[in-house]
Amino acid sequence: MNSIYEYLFGDHESLDKLLREASEGNGGIDMKRYCEFRQGLLRHIGIEEKIVLPAIARLQNGRQVEVAARLRLDHGALVALLVPSPTPGIVETIRSILKAHNPLEEEEGGLYRLIDQLAGDEAESLLDRLESAPEVPALPHNDRSGILEITRRAVERAGYKPLF
């Protein structure tokens, strides 16, 4: 059986790969790949916010991990970046956030190791819930005027630099 760590770490790797593939061509952004990335990242964030963080708090008798607030801010910025149609600058900004964010979850003492340690005999049923988590319905991109400004603010609020 896979561990929860392995499942979520593998998710990071496939999302990184999709984002790389979406933006490596010379002809701009590959929208098919990008949409797979967008769907996958929304689902991944949903799993962390709705299953992993609540399970950790419950298994620690109501005590949430310190890093939870940081992770939620990052998730907010990432979700905001998925709203407008992608540009190379938006893709770069997403990449820069993931580069700082994913290690907080993957590293020794990070979120994923912690949930594995705490899960105990719940490990299998938790992993089941992760694996069977449904796709999150994604709205079409929204490019109304002012949207980029809103997106920039969400990025800055989380402490990152908007590269668009």
Residues of this chain that interact with Fe ion (CB under 5 A) are 48, 105
We find the least distance from the C-beta atom of residue 159 to Fe ion, in angstroms, to be: 15
We find the least distance from the C-beta atom of residue 44 to Fe ion, in angstroms, to be: 6
Between 4 and 90, name the residue whose CB sits nearer to Fe ion: 4
We find the least distance from the C-beta atom of residue 76 to Fe ion, in angstroms, to be: 11
Between 64 and 85, name the residue whose CB sits nearer to Fe ion: 64
Between 91 and 115, name the residue whose CB sits nearer to Fe ion: 115
Between 29 and 48, name the residue whose CB sits nearer to Fe ion: 48
**CB 82 within 8 Å of CB 155:** no
We find the least distance from the C-beta atom of residue 78 to Fe ion, in angstroms, to be: 8
